[in-house]
Structure 1
Amino acid sequence: MAERVDAQGIIAAFLEQSSRHLFGPTSQPSAPPKSQVISVSSLIDKLDHLKPEDLSLIRRAFQYSDNAHLGQYRQSGEPYITHPLAVAELCADWKLDAPSIMAALLHDVIEDTGSTRQELVEIFGAKVAELVEGLTKLDKLEFQSHAEAQAESFRKMFMAMARDVRVILVKLADRLHNMRTLDSMAIEKRRRVALETAEIYAPIAHRLGLNMVYRELQDLSFRHSSPFRFATLDKAIKRARGNRKEMVNKILDAARMALSKSGLEVDLRGREKTLYSIYRKMQSKHLSFSEVLDVYGFRVTVKSIDDCYRALGVLHSLYKPMPGKFKDYIAIPKLNGYQSLHTTLVGPFGMPVEFQIRTQEMHRVAEEGVAAHWAYKDGENDLTEMQTRAHQWLQSLVDIQDISGDSQEFLEHVKIDLFPDAVYVFTPKGQIRALPRGSTVLDFAYAVHSDLGNQCVAAKVNGVQLPLRTELNNGDIVEITSDPNSQPNPVWLTFVKTGKARAAIRHDLKTKRYKESIQLGERLLLQALRQQAIDLAMLDDGVWEKLIYWTGSKTRDDLCADIAMGHRVPAVIAKRIEFILSENSGSGQMRLDSQAWDQALAADHRQAIMIDGAEGESVQYPHCCYPIPGDVILGYLGKGEGLQIHTRECRHAQRLHNKDPEHWVDVIWSEDIKRSFDVAIRVDVVNGKGVLARIAGTLTSADANIAHVTMDDRLTEHAASMRFVIQVEGRYHLAKVMRRLRQNQDVIRISRVLGK
């Protein structure tokens, strides 16, 4: 107890410093250790932007946190209260408001002590309690895995910060202090926390424009996740400082003299690039440290935007600019609001030298992001441009949350959107849109609106019709053509870049597939029940309730969808229903009599599932055998893959059947086929000029659409082999196509490519 950090003692100690008027009179118990006094005194010195009444509230929050964490210690052995104090001090550095600093002091009381949200509401008000709640992990709930628990905690935090950006500011301060004091943790935990920081928190800091926090989190993550590489590179940089000092001073002196002669008032400073940024450059460009020449950069701070461009001209006259290395982030700011001119010049001895030119205000925004000149407002109209950009991004998280299936999927989409670089494109009306680098035309459509993306059918980029998968470049003008009857294609998931686009496509496909899966699941269950002479239509609610409880499904529809997706075996479910019926009185009414049973068998073609091609995503036609109507087929319920249709000759299907015989069902083709099907054929031809065009013409004349064509690598001087994937209505149509091909004089031999 001797080491307890007493709130009154700390307050007395800093009152003895220079802030006696801040909290008013208080008792004078014995002073705590000097290091703790300095910590609190440092916090108080940074609260001069707050009103006296705010300071009184912060005092109460500190006393409450101190009492709540009494007897708790960090891994380093320090009293736990030192951590909330350090987090609050970081928030004070950013000039955050009183509720934010109170939340920083209280951020662990719900998670680590017996305090409750309701208690915080009663003492500190709903807003502070909401901030603390948003910072609290979900450790008290049960999850199937650490990854699931982590993803759900992140989703909770993201949703809280979408409501109030102060949540993430306090969380970043919390994570920054934890990273600074990570040495006391076990090596494995250090590595796990470091990787999580690099993957989630550092990109968030960058996305919100907090570049100082971003750079420090990156370096700390690098240090703890790759300690040997960090130490080696750190030593190399320290050795290089002496060697390059003379060169850096020479560039500084020359630049200062040139800028001074032009009459510009500037603050010119050299800066060393961070360890992680140097390491990333070495890794991405496969360079050794000695080959990385631009370890140093220079920052020019001027009074106005006009001076930025004047300074740029002076520097370009001093050293030659490197082609393609100039970026104007003043005219078009980055996604996070960052503004500056970047140029790389060829310095003495051919060394590349990077200059960043900005105003004093731009520099503050570049370092502090949304925290610069922080003044929290309730209305969007009162937000600064930086805060407005942050608000728009946070609102996009809400959109992703609304259409994501679960927390892990949500986190996956958010990670995709945490890109450090962007492209800037325009709508036909001249509105600018910022997208992650590598984004496609389809990403642009979804960025405008989810419905526009879902209904997108074509697009023009700079007036030219281009595919939806076309990657966008800076300055592109994009025009989208939509059709209300159009729907997302699963193939889109292979090329879209943004989290919003991926989430919207998956949501639409899942919704559509879910409805189709329910219908297919009912048909599969109907087939299995008929083998037990049970009438599916006669099952009452009591039977379904017991069945749903036994399977753990939420609803009857969910159970049927699980059957269709292969998560449940229809025969097992049918056996369970039979068991439930045997326990119920009067269950005979739910069974088929002999006459009804015979009729059911005749009507259902020996209980086989009828396939007509209109089942949608719930039924798959694998490319291992390309089944078409007329083939003898089998159905496999692959887990999570729906019903797969294979030909009886398919060797892949035969291996699956030997491994997993329970997941196979009888299927037959319907007499009324609703679509065309892919089939593979091999055509050996006389090698000659224009032969491919002539074969394609023959296929088209036989009403067969060509989906894909490849040429065999083993060509001879006189013969060639082509493999076509064509679309036909069935075996009769395929026979017609092959007869037409045989009439072509270029064709030597034709064969269908059967199961692999």
Structure 2
Amino acid sequence: MSLTTPDSTESGKTKSRAKRPGTKAGASHIAQEEAAPVHGVASITALNAKLAEYLTPAELKKVKEAYRFSDEMHLGQVRKSGEPYISHPIAVAEICADWKLDAQAIMAAFLHDVMEDQDVKKDELIERFGSPVANLVDGLSKLEKIEFQSLVEAQAENFRKMLLAMASDVRVILIKLADRLHNMRTLDFMVAAKQRRIASETMEVYVPIAHRLGLNNIYRELQDLSFSHLYPLRYRTLGKAIKAARGNRREVVKKILESVKGTLAMAGLQAEVYGREKTLYGVYKKMRNKHLSFSQVLDVYGFRVVVDTVPNCYVALGTLHALYKPMPGKFKDYIAIRKLNGYQSLHTTLIGPYGTPVEFQIRTQDMHRTAESGVAAHWLYKNGESNLSDLQQRTHAWLQSLLDIQQQTGDSAEFLEHVKVDLFPDSVYVFTPKSKIIALPRGATALDFAYTIHTGIGDHTVGVKINNDTAPLRTELHNGDIVEIITDTNSRPSPTWLSFVRTGKARSAIRHHLRTINLGESVELGAELLSQALSALGIDPVLPDHTIEKLLGESSAKSLDELYADIGIGKRMAALVARHIFGLMGISADMLPSQALGGSELDPVTIYGSEGVSVQLSPCCLPIPGDTIIGQLRRDQGLVVHTIECLPAQRLRAKEPDRWIPVQWGSDLNRRFDCRIRLLINNEKGILARVAAEIGESDANITYVGMDEDDENMMTQLRFTIQVTDRVHLAHLIRNLRKVAGVNRVERERG
């Protein structure tokens, strides 16, 4: 993903810009804005009317000053549509006014582009409008002209700046979302390539943020707008199909509405009932995920029931279940356990007239406000602030986690990667032993849970109990699980944890530990890998000082050890760094020897299995001495060793051949290695004891036992993880196990 910068793509302004005008020059544009509609804003007068509904005269005066200053600064700039650029800040301010954001936020909405467009300094904004407004504008502005190694790095750093500003003041992201929404509404004026790039960025970053903050109206509109530019033909085709379906289904919707309203009235419930249509993207997503045709998507329409109290939500639910039969497994109670973004409703799917599934959402008026406006409801409905305190706390906790990730992260691209991991709309809700509810992204593991409680707990985790049963740390959690973490002060994070943790907080904390605590091992491995890569290119591994200076300047590493460490943990590839050094020495890339392209002719790296965090034996195939092996350089996991026959490794190697290097076992390996075996045995008394005894007599340790029964065949499948010294030891053990009475088959399990 590439992040676009505001002045090049988002705003759609022309390249030619006037110099900063004097203080009297903006009057003509003010008159123009009052005379002509501008993309949803009838005029500055109409915006003033919205603001006057909730701002004081003194606040309105300050907002007007910000508008005039913005108009002066943008004088001479026009958008791709040909309209004066000031039309964009007005539209952004109107969206913020719909949320009833305060005067400072409205002023920042008017001023959000002046720092980067016209070189207005932050000090000037502080002097004119005060520090809070200047800080908001600064958080919304891209970084000043700092030299970055790449456009991606610059864009990621700009995004990090915005998110960290958001962590201290959520209004930053609200204004940014308003800015992005208006730019998406006017994206048709951009060239097709930029439309797709901006739409992709919006779908990947801004849509999840809007959902994470509970801004459902913006979330849905941004989804549909992005969909329309990413897949215009699909969007148009699906739009026509839904338009045609409206006529076909109008009678069904009308009949359901009348029945539901009548039934609720008879039950004595005061309720607002109205139908809602799935967004185009919602329909498309369901068709794609479930491989359905449009005619098979029956629940294009849903219904909302808004009642006055929480108890009446459940009364309404029972009333609806008496009217139409509920579909089993399609009821969700988001009132008792609200979603991560504060959303609350009862969800149920019923079999309506003609056998059509119909979804109902039942909620109170306060829940409805939060569902539509999320954290913005804090400004929209200040009288209900006490009801929203939990939502505000959840939002604050997530924003605070951004600061935690920032402190543990090495660079902006990595920070963005961690944040994106946490922007998942689906969540699971689990409990601590003291019944506290913890929300996690779907797919999160028990180890993610530990890091969510506290980084210190995650770092020292040695075991976990799920619903009072011992389970592996990689166990995926499900709704309602009760999770208890077992810690040991002597325990430390393992690089293998990175292969299964899901949350950004856990990933960044583990990487931070590996990067700092085990720096020496990573430096040593990185130096060896780079030395071998340079030797393969015919370059003396002892580099001259001027080459090292150039290399550090162009790689953004502060020292040679930092560069070695990056190679050792897989963040940089030795072959590519060597190739870059080749270029620094004045030799073109097309003169590289063939082995520089794939690394297949490099001398093998010797491993002993005791290198610690820098070298990992892959859990998918668990290589042991005697196996033919190959190494994969994985980002922040160092060198991961697979057997040459490993199918996952073969697939990964086909995708990224440059990340694979030859490795070989060293001699005098004075340790044991994990290995998995599978036995098919007769389901008879005492068989497990005989097998375990034979494993012990063969001088192997058992670290795990699993069992799958097959009642029809009276057979049982046993799975063991055992520790052996090498392939010879394993072969001896397997021969002995095959002699045990009741054992039908023994084989090594490789996947």
Superposition TM-score, scaled by structure 2 size: 0.77
Matched, 1:396 2:401: yes
Q: CA deviation at 1:416?
A: 1.8
**Structure 1 partner of 2:9:** none
Q: Distance in 1 between matches of 2:184 and 2:238?
A: 20
**Structure 1 partner of 2:613:** 617
**Structure 2 partner of 1:220:** 225
Kept after mapping to 1: 8 A contact 2:624/2:727: no
Q: Distance in 2 between matches of 1:301 and 1:241?
A: 24
Kept after mapping to 2: 8 A contact 1:633/1:668: no
Q: CA deviation at 1:666?
A: 11
Q: CA deviation at 1:325?
A: 1.8
Matched, 1:83 2:85: no
Q: CA deviation at 1:734?
A: 7.6
Q: CA deviation at 1:32?
A: 5.8
> Which amino acid is 1:275 matched to?
L
Q: Any residues of structure 2 matched to 1:258-657 within 5 Å, and which?
A: 258-374=263-379, 384-519=389-524, 548-552=548-552, 553-561=557-565, 613-619=609-615, 628=625
**Structure 2 partner of 1:96:** 101
**Structure 2 partner of 1:39:** 43
**Structure 1 partner of 2:245:** 240
Q: Distance in 2 between matches of 1:487 and 1:64?
A: 56
Kept after mapping to 1: 8 A contact 2:34/2:45: no
**Structure 1 partner of 2:180:** 175
Kept after mapping to 1: 8 A contact 2:530/2:578: no
1:220-260 superposed Cα distances (whole Å, 9 cap, x missing partner): 11111111111011111111111111111111111122222
Q: CA deviation at 1:264?
A: 2.1
Residues 201 and 525 of structure 1: is their aligned pair in 2 closer, same or farther, counting only changes over 3 Å? closer
Kept after mapping to 2: 8 A contact 1:10/1:40: no
> Which amino acid is 2:47 matched to?
L
SS at match of 2:330: strand
Q: Distance in 1 between matches of 2:475 and 2:607?
A: 36
Q: CA deviation at 1:38?
A: 3.1
**Structure 1 partner of 2:594:** none
> Which amino acid is 1:34 matched to?
A
Kept after mapping to 1: 8 A contact 2:208/2:423: yes
Q: CA deviation at 1:203?
A: 1.2
Q: CA deviation at 1:107?
A: 0.7
Kept after mapping to 2: 8 A contact 1:635/1:643: no
Q: Which moved more, 1:144-153 or 1:293-302?
A: 144-153
Q: Which of 60, 64, 78 is residue 65 of structure 2 equivalent to?
A: 60
**Structure 1 partner of 2:234:** 229
Q: CA deviation at 1:436?
A: 1.6
Q: Distance in 2 between matches of 1:747 and 1:320?
A: 52
SS at match of 1:323: coil
Kept after mapping to 1: 8 A contact 2:167/2:400: yes
Q: Which of 700, 705, 718 is residue 704 of structure 1 equivalent to?
A: 700
**Structure 2 partner of 1:16:** none
Q: Distance in 2 between matches of 1:354 and 1:735?
A: 59
Kept after mapping to 2: 8 A contact 1:95/1:374: yes
> Which amino acid is 1:140 matched to?
K
> Which amino acid is 2:699 matched to?
D
Q: Distance in 1 between matches of 2:376 and 2:151?
A: 32
1:152-209 superposed Cα distances (whole Å, 9 cap, x missing partner): 2221111110111000000000011011111111111111111111111111111111
Kept after mapping to 1: 8 A contact 2:274/2:305: yes
> Which amino acid is 2:340 matched to?
L
Q: CA deviation at 1:548?
A: 4.8
Q: CA deviation at 1:493?
A: 2.6
Q: Distance in 1 between matches of 2:428 and 2:665?
A: 50
Residues 246 and 114 of structure 1: is their aligned pair in 2 closer, same or farther, counting only changes over 3 Å? same
Kept after mapping to 2: 8 A contact 1:610/1:669: no
> Which amino acid is 1:411 matched to?
L
**Structure 2 partner of 1:675:** 671
**Structure 1 partner of 2:711:** none
SS at match of 2:359: strand
Matched, 1:105 2:106: no
Q: Distance in 1 between matches of 2:747 and 2:370?
A: 68
Q: Distance in 1 between matches of 2:744 and 2:215?
A: 69
Q: Distance in 1 between matches of 2:735 and 2:243?
A: 78
Matched, 1:133 2:135: no
Q: Any residues of structure 2 matched to 1:124-163 within 5 Å, and which?
A: 124-138=129-143, 140-163=145-168
Q: CA deviation at 1:96?
A: 0.2
Q: Distance in 1 between matches of 2:632 and 2:268?
A: 78
Q: Distance in 2 between matches of 1:524 and 1:232?
A: 53
Q: Distance in 2 between matches of 1:263 and 1:687?
A: 65
Q: Distance in 1 between matches of 2:269 and 2:743?
A: 79
Q: CA deviation at 1:354?
A: 1.7
Kept after mapping to 1: 8 A contact 2:632/2:639: yes
Q: CA deviation at 1:126?
A: 1.6
Q: CA deviation at 1:308?
A: 2.0
Q: CA deviation at 1:282?
A: 1.4
> Which amino acid is 1:482 matched to?
T
1:693-733 superposed Cα distances (whole Å, 9 cap, x missing partner): 977754432323468999xxxxxxxxxxx999964447997
Residues 188 and 751 of structure 1: is their aligned pair in 2 closer, same or farther, counting only changes over 3 Å? closer
Residues 418 and 747 of structure 1: is their aligned pair in 2 closer, same or farther, counting only changes over 3 Å? closer
Q: CA deviation at 1:487?
A: 2.1
The gaps in structure 2 that reach 5 residues or longer are 1-16, 534-540, 586-603, 644-648, 707-717
Q: Which moved more, 1:308-317 or 1:232-241?
A: 308-317
Kept after mapping to 2: 8 A contact 1:635/1:667: no
Kept after mapping to 2: 8 A contact 1:424/1:432: yes
Q: Which moved more, 1:186-195 or 1:306-315?
A: 306-315
Fraction of identical pairs, as percent: 57
Q: CA deviation at 1:384?
A: 3.1
Q: Distance in 2 between matches of 1:298 and 1:741?
A: 63
Q: Which moved more, 1:125-134 or 1:685-694?
A: 685-694
Over alpha carbons, which structure has the higher Rg?
A: 1
The gaps in structure 1 that reach 5 residues or longer are 14-29, 529-535, 580-607, 711-721
Q: Distance in 2 between matches of 1:638 and 1:250?
A: 61
Residues 307 and 180 of structure 1: is their aligned pair in 2 closer, same or farther, counting only changes over 3 Å? same
